[in-house]
Structure 1
């Protein structure tokens, strides 16, 4: 009986699988990951994830819980009241679909530790007022195919890490892309200032996307994870790199929001109105009539014009019969 009890005690405890959490403390995340073979997803439609960093004593927030899974670095927590928990290869997915305002006013430590540089950002234009109520439903065969692939990917597991590599021509494409990005870190480049930390991880993000595309494509024909070809071809990498400019544009907007003040919010609102007027040259008085409900006082509108002109969205000109009437010449609206 003692031998049986000993063998029973050596059997690892079985825990219910937890693929997704909505809101959890850093401490509970470590415990959940430890019970879930080092994996967890934070998927939420609210901004509580970012609010946590604003509302709590920033020194008490365990950044390592969110930072180390990005590269799979060993995660260890030591607590007096509980056993030490060690996760050798942590994996965490974070997806927050909230209003853009949740990333405003974040403490500097969030940026200094590199947390915000680890995200890809997607900030679509507001289509309120232009939505079509008669949208087509997603075809059933598309839903079925998607679910089939997702369930297959979730069922794949292996004790050993499977490394992906690039083909020769894909490697050449990668180096070409790296060289294109590198020059943008120079003093007059796109990544010289606010985007430096984020852009430093851009190549890594593109490779991650290429890996996901590769494995997803392979899953359509492979039954087991061990059947997957571990070489990413040039076409797959090229598909991922197509997202580069898109990711950069949205990151610029996101980091602009993080540093945004009221004058910049006004400028964004004015740009939105200019875009809706859909004309290359617009009288300033017309823009005033379209924005006066929100922008009180012409000085706020003029300040917005100055900001948009500084960022090369518009150019302020004068004309008309008298030669003194103010106009806005739209250079770019996006």
Structure 2
């Protein structure tokens, strides 16, 4: 199975306050972009995850609505190429340095286009808000709709802060914001807004890019309605390990050659404006490989309880991967920073798909960690409670039905028990097997990890003292009675 949390034999147990996560696979990028990602990461002394995600967001900003991908020769499945990404980093981790390094060519391009537009209008102000825009930051859904309407129904919300999530949570406004523009602009769905006291606004094919850096506290306790409507499932997540205390304090500069190449390539992408989106497809070998992945992915969705609490994300994982593949393929075409309209290769190679499929475990592990942030403290405490119950019972194997009977007073609904089991499994405290020993409906067997019991058994000392008392020899007179 491709999508699977590592087995207990292969992975150390992850404490409740810690995740062991892989680093961003920079080698998925074409050489010119990978060099810039590494250079920014080294100069800022930040994890490669931050620069890698910023690179993906800028590619999406520059290329969205210009390409789409139809993976298979047969069928009608097509995907756009815009991405929603979020990097979870604490305060003081130099998020702004990374963010500014990557959005710089887009901002410079926007400034140039606005200056040209003002010259055409023979004006020095933008009172009617008609000047070109490509990036927004702190904006309400209503304002975002207006910006997209004036800018070819295309926009990027890029920010080094988490204001968007604070707004969606209702923390910054008294009314609950409308999610429709964020939901429909991921897939380019028709959006019509008719409100009392405001002109009607219609977006026929809105395309949005979101690239955010947020602090963990911004995500904690977000309302269930965001997950219920599938917003969380539209994001790719990174939760890099902090480099605080491990940084090389020697001053470093971003490599000038890598920066110039990056600037020229992103500018060429921004200038590139085909009349219609260019359709990309997979080579025959790439189609076979991606189809094999889809079959294993579907099986994992059907059988893997560990992913029940992030269903909307796992359902969209194939779409995420195709979008990344289309961006990487297009980025390869712009390596020289030139107009390539007549030379676009429309076939995505087997090598590109292999590189993208190689990122699966990275994105799965980081999504699990991010959902751990999003999930409320109550659910994490429930997982700890369940672990204590299982350890206190003193067995290694349990049927799920037995556990439910023991804990339903706490969990009330079996879905809450499933979530607690999922958290424990994801952290390698336990594993799940199907019990086929009896005919009829197959029961789930919960098997505790012996290493986890050894490391995190809160009752071990108590049991040890009891066992020691049982081994003490009785006086002979008592034995004789």
The alignment covers a number of residue pairs equal to 271
Paired residue for 1:17, among 115, 119, 132?
132
Partner of 2:315: 200
Which protein, 1 or 2, shows the higher relative CO under an 8 Å CA cutoff with sep ≥ 6? 2
1:78–1:158: structure 2 CA closer, same or farther, 3 Å change rule?
A: farther
How far did 1:77 drift? 1.4
Paired residue for 2:351, among 235, 242, 256?
235
Q: Is the 8 A contact 1:309 1:315 kept in 2?
A: no
Partner of 1:259: 375
TM-score, with normalisation over the residues of structure 2?
0.52
How far did 1:170 drift? 0.8
Q: Does 2:260 match 1:144?
A: yes
Q: Secondary structure at the match of 1:55?
A: coil
Q: Is the 8 A contact 1:22 1:42 kept in 2?
A: yes
Partner of 1:9: none
Query: Which digits, 9 at most, give the CA deviation of each residue in 1:247-290, with x for residues without a partner?
Result: 0000000111211417949x99xxxxxxxxxxxxxxxxxxxxxx
In 1, Cα distance between the equivalents of 2:224 and 2:380?
Answer: 20
Paired residue for 2:429, among 285, 310, 322?
310
Q: Secondary structure at the match of 2:309?
A: coil
In 2, Cα distance between the equivalents of 1:80 and 1:258?
Answer: 34
Q: Secondary structure at the match of 1:179?
A: helix
1:108–1:138: structure 2 CA closer, same or farther, 3 Å change rule?
A: same
Partner of 1:106: 222
1:75–1:226: structure 2 CA closer, same or farther, 3 Å change rule?
A: farther
1:135–1:263: structure 2 CA closer, same or farther, 3 Å change rule?
A: farther
1:198–1:263: structure 2 CA closer, same or farther, 3 Å change rule?
A: closer
In 2, Cα distance between the equivalents of 1:163 and 1:69?
Answer: 19
Q: Does 2:197 match 1:81?
A: yes
Q: Is the 8 A contact 1:40 1:92 kept in 2?
A: yes
Partner of 2:34: none
126-135 or 218-227, larger mean C-alpha shift: 218-227
In 1, Cα distance between the equivalents of 2:342 and 2:221?
Answer: 46
How far did 1:309 drift? 7.1
In 1, Cα distance between the equivalents of 2:328 and 2:191?
Answer: 28
How far did 1:59 drift? 7.3
Q: Is the 8 A contact 2:132 2:151 kept in 1?
A: yes
1:227–1:87: structure 2 CA closer, same or farther, 3 Å change rule?
A: farther
In 1, Cα distance between the equivalents of 2:203 and 2:379?
Answer: 46
Q: Secondary structure at the match of 1:120?
A: strand
User: How is 1:277-288 mapped onto 2 (pairs within 5 angstroms)?
Assistant: none
Q: Is the 8 A contact 1:69 1:91 kept in 2?
A: yes
Q: Secondary structure at the match of 1:43?
A: strand
Q: Is the 8 A contact 1:309 1:316 kept in 2?
A: no
How far did 1:316 drift? 1.9
Query: Which digits, 9 at most, give the CA deviation of each residue in 1:87-118, with x for residues without a partner?
Result: 22111111110112211111111011100110
How far did 1:42 drift? 0.8
Partner of 1:179: 295
Query: Which digits, 9 at most, give the CA deviation of each residue in 1:281-303, with x for residues without a partner?
Result: xxxxxxxxxxxxxxxxxxxxxxx
1:85–1:104: structure 2 CA closer, same or farther, 3 Å change rule?
A: same
Paired residue for 1:247, among 348, 351, 363?
363
Q: Secondary structure at the match of 1:62?
A: coil
Paired residue for 1:45, among 154, 160, 180?
160
Q: Does 2:239 match 1:123?
A: yes
Partner of 1:10: none
Q: Is the 8 A contact 2:170 2:177 kept in 1?
A: no
How far did 1:151 drift? 0.4
RMSD in angstroms over aligned alpha carbons?
A: 2.9
How far did 1:52 drift? 1.0
TM-score, with normalisation over the residues of structure 1?
0.73
1:214–1:200: structure 2 CA closer, same or farther, 3 Å change rule?
A: same
In 2, Cα distance between the equivalents of 1:37 and 1:190?
Answer: 41
1:214–1:81: structure 2 CA closer, same or farther, 3 Å change rule?
A: same
